[in-house]
């Protein structure tokens, strides 16, 4: 590909654009990870990250991708042969299931159509039938990155409670943390899984487990093998701001700044900004005459929008056209929707003008690729965004 002027538009649903302020924070000499300067940094990030998960309990930070945090959540709480209930909401739910099976766990997958998130009623029905409490954990993806559907986590927690079931509740927030409201403590989650490369505005390389007291108690009797992922060693060292092995030092510099940026903006404003960009994107899709993959408006994601192309249109070829002509990367369709959808990431360090540039690239790409559409999407998004800001200026509240 020829060199193109300007900055590359990275509009996949993660990794996301890393803000200059975070890049500058990471551009520091590597420090002694056993020294007092690092200890101060360690204490700050270990405390600050709790605010992002909205928890008073410990949050473990690993030098790993989100896949590592998936494994850590299972390995610290379960034993070989335990049965885990999962819901087929999309590609990442399927991958978590595959990982669980490799660890020696048994899995039960509630079927889904990849156009809706996990269904609390289906989970409740299965838990109510489990009179012997054979199911040891319920694992759910909060924001399914492959489909753009958000699961109703409080409703699933209620389903577990109303069934009187003792199963642990494990939730993946890799593409929702720092973008979509999530409350680890209030919503009664036992282990929350997170990653650095999406709403936290960092490069890949850090992952997280937020813990409940129940999860910590379960870890005492869990018998799956664990060493690198062991919570116990982490928690002992974390009390003093240190880690049991070499941490990703410069990423922690960046995390410190990213936490500060999110809290300075205010989490409620961060979530509202993502919801606004999500609504503007869906209005553009509708104006183009295309279809959003997620069928339930209550489950639309603030982090990304998956767009279904008409039959006979190759979404991967369309993405190639956009990349070749406008130096912009859009998310690929994964698993069952490969070649059928493209995904627009609108999360992390992102504003109105960046969104309009993204939608402009999509609209021009649709034209060049010969995808049937109406050339009205950017205008629809502009009308929504400008109207929203005018209403904000007048002190009015506008949904979306």
DSSP string for residues in 345-356: E--SS--HHHHH
- Alpha helix segments (H runs only) across 106-230: 120-129, 153-162, 213-221
Q: What is the mean pLDDT of the chain?
A: 96
Residues 124 and 250 both lie in one domain: yes
Of 321 and 397, more confident: 321
The CATH code of the domain that includes 177 is 3.40.640.10
Residues 185 and 285 both lie in one domain: no
Residues 271 and 256 both lie in one domain: no
* Domain end marker among 263, 286, 307: 263
Domain assignment present for residue 5? The answer is: no
The average pLDDT across 244-253 equals: 97
* Domain end marker among 240, 263, 286: 263
- pLDDT over 70 percentage in the chain: 96
pLDDT of 390 above 90: no
Annotated binding residue 343: yes
Residues 205 and 317 both lie in one domain: no
Residues 258 and 307 both lie in one domain: no
Residues 115 and 238 both lie in one domain: yes
pLDDT of 127 above 60: yes
Cβ within 8 Å of residue 308, ≥6 positions away: 290, 291, 292, 293, 337, 340, 341
Domain assignment present for residue 8? The answer is: no
SS3 244: coil
Domain assignment present for residue 28? The answer is: yes
Residues 201 and 242 both lie in one domain: yes
Whole-number pLDDT of residue 387: 87
> CA 306, CA 115: separation in Å to the nearest integer?
10
Residues 92 and 203 both lie in one domain: yes
- Give the total number of structural domains in the chain: 2
- Phi, psi dihedral angles at 184 (to 5 degrees): -55, -50
What is the per-residue pLDDT across 199-240, written as a single tens digit (0 to 9) for each? 999 999 999 999 999 999 999 999 999 999 999 999 999 999
Domain assignment present for residue 10? The answer is: no
Domain assignment present for residue 11? The answer is: no
> CA 24, CA 299: separation in Å to the nearest integer?
36
Residues 148 and 36 both lie in one domain: yes
Classify residue 6 as left (phi > 0), alpha (psi -120 to 50) or beta.
Answer: left
Whole-number pLDDT of residue 395: 41
The CATH code of the domain that includes 376 is 3.90.1150.10
Residues 229 and 254 both lie in one domain: yes
Residues 285 and 258 both lie in one domain: no
> CA 13, CA 345: separation in Å to the nearest integer?
4
* Domain end marker among 263, 293, 328: 263
- pLDDT over 90 percentage in the chain: 96
Confidence class of residue 282 from pLDDT cuts 50, 70 and 90?
A: very high
Domain assignment present for residue 226? The answer is: yes
pLDDT of 6 above 70: yes
Domain assignment present for residue 6? The answer is: no
The whole domain housing 109 covers 20-263
Residues 272 and 341 both lie in one domain: yes
pLDDT of 397 above 60: no
Domain assignment present for residue 2? The answer is: no
What is the per-residue pLDDT across 310-364, written as a single tens digit (0 to 9) for each? 999 999 999 999 999 999 999 999 999 999 999 999 999 999 999 999 999 999 9
């Amino acid at each position: 590909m020829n060199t193109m002027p300007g900055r590359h538009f990275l509009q996949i649903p993660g990794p996301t654009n890393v803000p200059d302020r975070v890049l500058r924070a990471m551009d520091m000499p590597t420090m002694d990870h056993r020294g007092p300067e690092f200890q101060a940094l360690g204490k700050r990030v270990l405390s600050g990250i709790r605010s992002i998960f909205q928890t008073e309990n410990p949050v473990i930070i690993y030098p790993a991708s989100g896949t590592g945090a998936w494994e850590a959540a299972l390995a610290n709480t379960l034993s070989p042969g335990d049965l885990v209930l999962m819901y087929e909401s999309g590609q990442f739910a399927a991958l978590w299931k595959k990982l669980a099976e490799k660890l020696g766990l048994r899995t039960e997958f509630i079927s889904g159509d990849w156009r809706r998130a996990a269904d609390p009623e289906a989970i409740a029905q299965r838990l109510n039938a489990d009179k012997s409490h054979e199911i040891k954990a319920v694992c759910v993806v909060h924001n399914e990155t492959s489909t753009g559907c958000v699961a109703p986590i409080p409703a699933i927690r209620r389903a577990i409670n109303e069934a009187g079931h003792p199963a642990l509740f494990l939730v993946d927030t890799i593409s929702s943390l720092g973008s979509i409201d999530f409350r680890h403590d209030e919503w009664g989650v036992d282990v929350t899984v997170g990653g650095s490369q999406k709403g936290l505005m960092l490069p890949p390389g850090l992952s997280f487990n937020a813990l409940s007291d129940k999860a910590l108690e379960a870890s005492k009797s869990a018998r799956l093998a664990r060493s690198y992922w062991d919570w116990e060693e982490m928690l002992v060292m974390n009390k003093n701001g240190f880690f049991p092995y070499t941490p990703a030092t410069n990423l922690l510099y960046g995390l410190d700044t990213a936490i500060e940026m999110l809290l300075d903006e205010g989490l409620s404003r961060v979530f509202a900004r993502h919801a606004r960009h999500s609504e503007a994107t869906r209005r553009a899709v509708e104006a183009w005459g295309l279809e959003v993959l997620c069928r339930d408006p209550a489950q639309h994601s603030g982090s990304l929008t998956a767009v279904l192309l008409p039959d006979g249109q190759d979404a991967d070829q369309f993405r190639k056209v956009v990349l070749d002509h406008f130096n912009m990367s859009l998310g690929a369709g994964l698993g069952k929707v490969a070649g059928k959808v493209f995904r627009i990431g609108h999360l992390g360090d992102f504003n109105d003008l960046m969104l309009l540039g993204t939608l402009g690239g999509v609209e021009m790409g649709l034209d060049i690729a010969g995808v049937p559409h109406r050339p009205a999407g950017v205008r629809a998004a502009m009308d929504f965004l400008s109207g929203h800001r005018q209403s904000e200026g007048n002190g009015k509240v506008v949904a979306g």
